[in-house]
Structure 1
Amino acid sequence: MKWFYSCLLASMLILGCSSLAEAFEHETSNLILLLVPSLSFDEVEWLLEHGQHSDMWETGHLAAMNIRSDGPYSYLNSTVTLSLGARGEGVSDWNAFERGELVLGQPVEAIMQQWLSQKQESQLYHPYLPQLVKKNAQGHLVGRLGTLLKQHDVTMNVFGHSDTATEPHRYGSLFVMDGQGRATGDLQGTVRALMSAPHGMAMNEEALLSKLRDQTDSKAFTVIEWGDLYRLFDQKKNMPSAIFAEKRAKELYRLETFIHNVTTGSASDVWLLAPIMHDEAYKQKKRLAPTYFWGSGFKGSPYSASTRRSDVLANVDVAPTILSYFHISPDPQMTGRPLLFQVDSVENDKEAIVSEVNKRFTIFRTRGAVLSSYITMLVVMLLVASIGSWVKKGNPRWRLGMKMILASAVSTPLWLLVLTPFVHEVGPYLFVLTVIGCSLILGWTATQLSAQPIWLLGFLLVAAISIDLMNGGPFIATSYLGYDPIIGARYYGIGNEFAGLYIAAAVLLITGAVWQTELWKRLVTVFVVSGFTLMMLGMSQFGANAGATLSAGIACAFVGYTLIGKQLSKWNLVIVSGGALLITLLLLFVLQMNSPSTHIGDAYERLLSGDIQYVLQTMKRKVAMNMTIFRYSNWTQLFVTSYLLLGVLIWTQSAKKYDAGQSLFLKGGIVASVALLLLNDSGVVAAATSMFFIVSTNYYWLLAQMQNGKMMSEGKEM
């Protein structure tokens, strides 16, 4: 046993830290934001393969962007989020209107006076501004982008629209209007009537280029809403596939030619941004939007401090980036951060980027089926192990087989971590079979070659996750048990599925200290393993999971307090847990200092500034998310099953036969799992994975006891 913990402590002490990529600021003053709704990565792939200006696509910088907003998927909701710098949602009938246009049968100027008591001179009006402000929790940010740009003497204009024959779609003005709903631009004059075009309208390239040539201001921000693809895909259902393909190619060539004329004919930097992809791509779950950068102001590949990635950017970063482009500090209430542009260490390989994005699409598309099958498999295995522990307890072959299956099940998270990057090559079905096969091999090997297979598997899981976190989490980021950048709930760190497993395995490793006779050795084991676990979970560079860090702090404190010979009554448990929570909160705060900014650091800043409302909203959101997960998620099956089986294990008093280390792990694991349930925003998920590890381990020990006629102590020396 000594060799095992010597290796454990040495491994945790020598693991190093990762470094962050450096970026530099850009310096230029003329930006064109080209909004192209309905552009997807399918169109980007087509342009890379068939485009007539291949040099242009190669010299630009390509990335994917999350398009999640507060409301349902829609062009308006996405554009509101992009312009706010925080997640937002649109309101019914929202649009920009030019002077003289009718709203509810009256000139828009009259509506502005009637509804808002404002008689203001402007080229564009937004009569539904109050409703938009009221609809969003961050309503004070509506128009904030335009207001800040105006205050710093940036000339702003918006051109074009995405109108169809039946309804208007003018959302580009959200980027340039001020807090009073005023904006300048030309919506209809830059779109021409064309009978052969979708909905009888097409962007007027000559008019647009003329508008851009007339722009002589030293600081200018121009938004062009290129609605032709949006109109085309809106009519796709009415076209034969061959005709649609022909029109799609024509529209893409027109867009490409326009971009080429702008990038070669002016000193402006161009930012191509798809607020949404078309419905077909969305239904195929290709739910990341392409974005492209050209010009001297974008020297290098984009990097998002919000996602801490360069392959996937956050939509809330758009508004802060526009402000930063003009050297204006973003509003502190914007949740996004300015994009940084890194000097490329390697060539910006567009085909490689598209390939990686397609892998993300594959994971997202198959995640539900794979996880549903995986969770069902774990539930069935736990039920079989529980029932068979009593029905088949006299059958030695069955006990041996179930021990191997339980050990294999405990090892599955390890394979779901390291093998998922290959799912795009082999497909989901062969991937699942591969995971099962590798898990069975590792489970059999561990039970045959080690007297302590569960501890060994727990150590391997902790080591693998830790090493991945120290290298930026590339395997977690692509794992079915990791977070998904398309969902957009988390972009970095450990995530809740692996956090539950990580904490349960760490508690298992700590409880091995019970076999150390000297008190100082127990304390060293507790201090090193607990400190390492908290660092991995809490540091911005690594796990960045506040709920998991606090839960781990409580669990480690409980186990450590017991290991030094203290008995815990109910009130002592409350006191120790409360004290551990406060100390871990302080430690978590310290871990954020001099680290990359994260959602945890932002929360501490809000708390220290006295923003209690933010804390209350966070707590409310956590409760609502857990309720939603409990009602609809597949993880509820595993959560309910594992907790019920734990109750059966305790009720039948089988756990009372455990040795000291195993009994301590059971108690410490329960504390960790309950803490995860209460403190995590996806607590049901983290509690389910942690309790699965705990219950599987305990049933393994129960079968070992039955096999030998006494409890088999894996904590004793080999």
Structure 2
Amino acid sequence: MKRVIIALLLLLMSFTLMPQRDYAATNSDKKVVLVIIDRVSLNDYIKYDAKNIQKLINNGTVGLMNVRNADGYVDASGYLTFGTGTRASAHGISSINLNVNENYTFGSAGDLYKLNTGNDYGNNNIVNIGISNLISSSESADYKITPGLLGQLLKDNNIPTYVFGNSDIASDNSITYRRYGTLIAMDEKGTAFGDVSENILKYDKNSPYFMRTDYNKILDYFKKYEKNGGFFVIDTGDTSRVDSYSSNVSSDISSKYEKYAISNADNFIGKLLENIDTSKDLLIVATPCPSKSDISSNNLLAPIIIYGPGYNGLTTSLTTKRDGIITNIDLAPTILSYFNIKAPVEMLGHPITNIKAQDKVNYLENLNSKVVSIYTARPIVLKSYVIFLIIILILYLITLFLKIGYLKYLKPVVLGVMIVPLSLLILSLFSPLSIYSSIIVLILITTLLLFLIKLIAKDEFNMLIVISLLTAIIITADIFTGAHLMKGSILGYDVIAGARFYGIGNEYMGVLIGSTIMGVMTFIQKYDNRANKLLGVLFFALVFMLMVLPQYGAKIGGFITGFMAFGVTLLLMSEIKINFKNLLLLFLIMIVLLTLMFIASMSMGTITHMAQTALIVKNEGITALYKIFARKLNMELTLIRYTIWSWVLIITIISLFILSYKPTGILKSIFKKNKYIYYGFFGSIVGMLFALAFNDAGIVAASTMCIYAFPPILIMLEREIKQNEI
């Protein structure tokens, strides 16, 4: 009995010692409760029968979230990204958050905060003691990051914020602080209100490190402060501790601890549901970082669940425009939108919206399997293809000069290499597949297409026409109908890498421009008449429009590259000489049109990449544009150095240099006899140069253009050499 009384007194003291917040009555008592259950997957909620969480899934909105941050997959950076609305980095002292009365090194956290910042923490009782370091490191980034932005905006609008819980672990007879929830809700000074101390933990001999979250205390805190509404961040912590401890035990024991942790969190959510009004309040269950085992198996998309008014289905946002997929930078704009606060431009995400759906869990599990299979197979399959492409090009050149009679064995392989991008598009219909299954099926599709095209086209020249035009037409049709094939292609988007989620990527941009130009030009070369030229011009216009329009390709780099590549080709078709003056005039017209689009985008909101860039420049000045170009240039230089695609371009350039001199005059002779192919080749070269200069992964686009620009030259070389021998 005495122990019970003492425990009650201690609990009462813990509340009375907490500073009280005096907030003027807000215009609403609405609440957003963000419950962090870290290091879990969607399947864990099903596997461990988390009934309350499953209720949220069945009756609310659920999705998969890209949780990459500026450091890859680092817990603290993931939490900070939730609060900044852009990928951020937190490490070392910049991630340490403490209650002000806790001791750290040589003094209390509150005093240390004042010493480090010169600021007072006011009515707040949680401080980030490394906020100065965090601000400094964020300012050194090549895009704007504001630590504490979400919390500051809520504070400025008189919406109270609270943080409870931690994921601390025991280490060398001391505590390793992991109070990352503060990074989501703190203001720009690095201060917040709540309890992230050891007071929120309890002894439990059945849990890793003999500690687990005291949900009763958190629930009592919540009941005390929820009356005036606000934003609550609750870090459950236990699943994170299980993941940290998993390396010390067997997988069976680790699963036992994980089940226990999820069960406790699930019971807590059940009690939360009894204390919130889901007709107006929003409950979000989010995972900032995957578990170690999920990271090792490339299962890198984390679950997010939203329960409240207007949410019932699958998540989506304008960031991804994908059913069931959002990003971690979408969370802050969602919370602000719920409180009717406009998100600043530097928050690159967009509010999470809802798409009606049935059988949500199965849909997401299938989607996740496809996404993981693409992410896993992509580097191996594409690297194998590029190596094979390079070997075939080199062998063809060697055979061309030494044993031309053997080219009959290599020509089908060269044509097959040109088919592969189309085959990779079709391969998406069979996803998900293992790496080796992907390679086998890819070879079978390519072989079958080559066989069918040979039956239709008869000779190599006609095969070049069919391969190029068929590739261009199918990609164009796919973009027009929603890019469903491209979304599932190994050569298309990588949702986990998160560079692009919709529109057309650099790989297929290069394929589309290259196949369109060379397909149309080889067709006109063989069937030269006015009607075919007009059809070619119209097809150029259609491809270009679909590639750049926001609702289709949405590619700014595609606008620049396509305009110059198609423009130069059309000028040559019109018998207009390409000199410096005409090229400069074409470039200036492109700049004027791009500028007009840029200005128009400033009034469109942040719906497209261009519109978002325009708004950033409008708010931050022209220096923001400089930073964007600098970042893209840095990425381009890095890719040129390290990506294997660079070798496709290098081998092509070396080959063209050799062919310009030996056999003497042969290249000039080919282009003289086939002027339209020369026009297409020259236009493609211009496109490659502009792809390199104006795309953040332009080396990839330039290299995929080579797939259609160079092989036709090789095949005509063989014809020319044979004719000369006769």
Residue 578 (structure 1) shift = 4.0
What percent of counterpart residues are identical?
Answer: 22
| 1:399 pairs with 2:407 | yes
Say if 2:122 is the partner of 1:125: no
**Residues 665 and 617 of structure 1, relative CA distance in 2, 3 Å threshold:** same
2:20 equivalent in structure 1: none
Q: Give, in whole Å, the separation in 1 of the partners of 2:413 and 2:456.
A: 15
Does 1:681 find its partner at 2:693?
no
Q: Which residue number corresponds to residue 14 of structure 2?
A: none
**Cα distance change, pair 517–369 in 1 and its aligned pair in 2 (3 A):** closer
Provide the alpha-carbon RMSD of the alignment.
Answer: 2.6
Q: Is the counterpart of residue 275 in structure 1 residue 288 in structure 2?
A: yes
Deviation larger for 70-79 or 317-326: 70-79
The answer to whether the aligner puts 1:427 opposite 2:434 as a matched pair is yes
2:353 alignment partner in structure 1: 340
Q: After TM superposition, give the deviation of residue 657 of structure 1 in Å.
A: 2.5
Partner deviation per Cα, 1:425-483 (whole Å, 9 max, x = no partner)? x4221321222222223223323422522121111111111122122222212211112
1:257 Cα deviation from its structure 2 partner: 2.1
SS of 1:337's equivalent in the other structure is coil
Number of aligned residue pairs: give it: 677
Q: How does 1:303-452 map to 2 (within 5 A)?
A: 303-342=316-355, 344=356, 346-393=357-404, 395=405, 398-424=406-432, 426-450=433-457, 452=462
Distance 2:528 2:376 in 1: 52
Residue 408 and residue 179 in structure 1: after superposition, are their counterparts in 2 closer, same or farther (change >3 A)?
same
Deviates more, 1:208-217 or 1:300-309: 208-217
* Alpha-carbon contact 1:203-1:228 (below 8 Å) kept: yes
Distance 1:265 1:446, change over 3 A: same
Shift, 1:111, TM fit: 1.6
Please say if 1:480 is aligned against 2:495. no
Partner secondary structure for residue 63 of structure 1: strand
Change (3 A) 1:577 1:148: closer
CA contact (8 A) 2:601 2:614 kept: no
Report the 3-state secondary structure (helix = DSSP H, G, I; strand = E; otherwise coil) of the residue aligned with 2:358.
coil
Query: By how many angstroms is 1:495 displaced?
Result: 0.5
Is the CA contact 1:526–1:560 (under 8 Å) kept in the aligned structure 2?
Answer: no
Give the gaps of 5 or more residues in structure 1.
Answer: 1-26, 712-718
Find out whether 1:554 has 2:564 as its counterpart: yes
1:289 aligned counterpart, secondary structure: strand
Deviation at 1:348, TM superposition (A): 4.5
Picking from 652, 662, 668, the partner of 1:642 is 652
Q: 1:430 to 1:517 in 2, by over 3 A?
A: closer
CA contact (8 A) 1:375 1:635 kept: yes
The alpha carbon displacement at 1:151 in A equals 2.5
- Give the partner amino acid of 2:244: D
Aligned with residue 181 of structure 2, among 161, 168, 172: 172
How far apart in 1 are the matches of 2:456 and 2:121? 82
The C-alpha deviation readout for 1:85-133, integer Å capped at 9, x for no partner, is 1111114222211121123221122223322222333211122112111
| Distance apart, 1:53 and its partner CA | 7.0
1:288: how far off?
A: 1.1
Q: Distance in 1 between matches of 2:158 and 2:389?
A: 61
Within the candidate set 289, 302, 307, 1:289 is matched to 302
Among candidates 129, 136, 139, match of residue 138 of structure 2: 136
CA distance in 2, matches of 1:297, 1:201: 38
CA distance change for structure 1 residues 636 and 53 in 2, over 3 Å: closer, same or farther?
closer
Q: Secondary structure at the match of 2:306?
A: strand
> Aligned partners of 1:278, 1:118: CA distance in 2, in Å?
37
Q: SS state of the match for residue 165, structure 1?
A: strand
Which letter maps to 1:409? V
SS at match of 2:660: helix
- 1:419 counterpart SS class: helix
- 1:697 maps onto 2:712 in alignment: yes
Q: Does 1:654 align with 2:661?
A: no
Q: CA deviation at 1:298?
A: 2.3
Of residues 441-450 and 317-326 in structure 1, the stretch that sits farther from structure 2 once superposed is 441-450
- AA of the residue aligned to 2:398: I
Q: C-alpha distance in 2, partners of 1:572/1:431?
A: 46
Conserved? CA contact 1:541–1:595, under 8 Å: no
Describe the superposition over 1:501-537 as per-residue Cα deviations: whole angstroms up to 9, x where unpaired. 1111121244345678777874x44542232122122
* SS of aligned partner of 1:318: helix
Give the Cα–Cα distance (whole angstroms) in 2 for the partners of residues 297 and 222 of structure 1: 20
State which drifts further: 686-695 or 470-479: 470-479
Aligned residue runs from structure 1 range 154-193, under 5 A: 154-166=159-171, 167-188=176-197, 189-193=199-203
Once the 2 structures are TM-superposed, how far is the Cα of residue 697 of structure 1 from its aligned partner? 2.1
In 2, Cα distance between the equivalents of 1:705 and 1:673?
A: 26
Q: d(CA) in 2 for partners of 1:582 and 1:403? A: 44
- Aligned amino acid, residue 410 of structure 1: M
> Secondary structure at 1:330's aligned position in 2?
coil
TM-score, normalising length from structure 1? 0.88
| Correspondence list, 1:469-548, <5 A | 469-511=479-521, 512-513=523-524, 522=533, 524-525=534-535, 527-548=537-558
1:467 to 456, 477, 497: 477
SS of 2:710's equivalent in the other structure is: helix
Shift of 1:626: 1.4
The answer to whether the Cα contact below 8 Å between 1:539 and 1:588 also exists between their aligned partners in 2 is: no
User: Is the 8 Å Cα contact of residues 540 and 591 (structure 1) preserved in structure 2?
Assistant: no
> Is the contact between residue 161 and residue 172 of structure 1 (CA under 8 Å) also seen in structure 2?
yes
Partners of 1:299 and 1:385 in 2: how far apart? 58
Does the residue aligned with 2:484 lie in a helix, a strand or coil?
A: coil
How far apart are residue 41 of structure 1 and its match? 3.9
Give the superposition deviation at 1:305. 0.7
The alpha carbon displacement at 1:671 in A equals 1.1
Q: Residue 413 of structure 1: CA displacement?
A: 0.5
TM-score (norm. length: structure 2): 0.88
